């Protein structure tokens, strides 16, 4: 990336463009899903059943993969039936949808939640919200090797920090496993502190037989998951115009703004080389673009 705020601070940034892996099975999603697909195939199952909201990047990628590779997908959705661009795509991809309501969705971590669904769909593998869990994290561990082989093309022999957005923390846990202490992983939380990420990462690392070390978390949520503001809209517009890289506001926009703020505050040492993961999710922009444009107009007027 060639950006003024990086040059001024003497910091170099490279993006791992997982948004370019596939237009539909985009970002970190394929890496989280692949181990579950392998598990389903080993068990002789015919597909996957999973959970998410009406804008879920995870369900979108799962449904797209099901359509592409010919396996069955069922989505359990939060809330009451809604018509969103994502939901339209899920249907078009052939995913079978059930709307759980809000109270029903809150039960998703309760013991026994899956039992009735497994009875109804015994031929499908249940996968937690967002493709979370140890298999999902292990699927992301391999990303570290994939990024290392690309360093030479940048003329880099190494890097100092690896930045990634954290929702459930599964991708971050995978990167910590893959790094095995070689580089610090910085997780920019898309959800405010106290919503479970801080507990989930040590659990995943423990399950993987790793120490709870090699990473730190920062709150990049800007007051709430999916909360948008004028500063974020302005930063994203500038970043996209200067770099040509598309962002979405909930994860990658907030990740890069948090990095920008750390760099400008002098918390990233001059001479640092940073890799940030572009975790995709661009399909979600469709439902947010009007709000982003509005915020951007407001901040230009102000």
Residues that bind ligand PLP (CB under 6 A): 27-28, 57-58, 130, 165-172, 251, 279-281
Q: What is the CB neighbour count within 10 angstroms for residue 217? A: 17
Closer of 31 and 159 to ligand PLP (Cβ): 31
How far apart (Å, rounded) are the C-alpha atoms in residues 24 and 173? 24
The answer to whether residues 21 and 46 touch, using CB atoms and an 8 Å cutoff, is no
Nearer to ligand PLP, 9 or 232 (CB): 232
* Nearest residue to ligand PLP, by Cβ distance, number only: 281
Query: From CA 92, how far away is CA 104, in angstroms rounded?
Result: 25
Give the shortest CB-143-to-ligand PLP separation in angstroms.
Answer: 11
For ligand PLP, the closer of residues 161 and 171 by Cβ is 171
Whether residue 131 contacts residue 170, with contact meaning beta carbons closer than 8 Å, is answered with yes
| Angle, vertex CA 69, rays to CA 285 and CA 279, nearest 5 | 30
Residue 170: CB minimum distance to ligand PLP, A: 4
- Find the shortest distance in angstroms from Cβ 165 to ligand PLP: 4
Pick between residue 104 and residue 246 the one whose CB is nearest to ligand PLP.
246
Q: Which CB sits closer to ligand PLP, 47 or 139?
A: 139
Calculate helix-pair angle for 254-264, 230-243, nearest 10 degrees.
90
Q: In angstroms, what is the minimal distance from the CB of 288 to ligand PLP?
A: 12
Give the Cα separation of 252 and 257 in Å (integer).
Answer: 8
Q: How far is the CB of 264 from ligand PLP (least distance, A)?
A: 23
R_g of the chain, CA atoms, integer Å: 19
């Amino acid at each position: 990336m060639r950006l003024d705020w990086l040059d001024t601070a003497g910091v170099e940034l490279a993006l791992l463009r997982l948004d370019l892996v596939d237009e539909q099975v985009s970002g970190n999603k394929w890496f989280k899903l692949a181990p579950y697909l392998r598990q389903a195939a080993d068990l002789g199952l015919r597909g996957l059943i999973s959970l998410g909201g009406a804008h879920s990047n995870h369900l979108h990628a799962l449904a797209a993969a099901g359509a592409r590779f010919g396996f069955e997908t069922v989505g359990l959705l939060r809330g009451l039936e809604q018509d969103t661009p994502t939901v339209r795509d899920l249907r078009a991809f052939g995913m079978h949808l059930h709307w759980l309501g809000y109270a029903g969705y809150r039960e998703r971590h309760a013991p026994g939640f899956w039992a009735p669904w497994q009875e109804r769909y015994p031929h499908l593998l249940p996968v937690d919200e967002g493709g979370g869990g140890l298999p999902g994290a292990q699927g992301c561990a391999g990303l570290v090797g994939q990024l290392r082989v690309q360093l030479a093309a940048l003329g880099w022999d190494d890097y100092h920090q690896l930045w990634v957005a954290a929702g459930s923390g599964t991708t971050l846990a995978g990167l910590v496993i893959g790094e095995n202490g070689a580089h610090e992983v910085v997780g920019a939380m898309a959800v405010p502190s106290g919503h479970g990420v801080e507990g989930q990462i040590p659990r995943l690392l423990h399950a993987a037989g790793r120490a709870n070390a090699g990473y730190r978390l920062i709150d990049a949520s800007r007051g709430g998951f999916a909360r948008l503001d004028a500063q974020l809209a302005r930063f994203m517009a500038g970043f996209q115009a200067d770099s040509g890289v598309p962002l979405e506001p909930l994860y990658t926009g907030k990740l890069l703004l948090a990095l920008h703020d750390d760099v400008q505050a002098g918390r990233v040492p001059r001479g640092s080389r940073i890799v940030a993961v572009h975790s995709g999710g661009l399909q979600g922009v469709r439902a947010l673009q009007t709000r982003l444009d509005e915020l951007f107009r407001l901040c230009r007027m102000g």
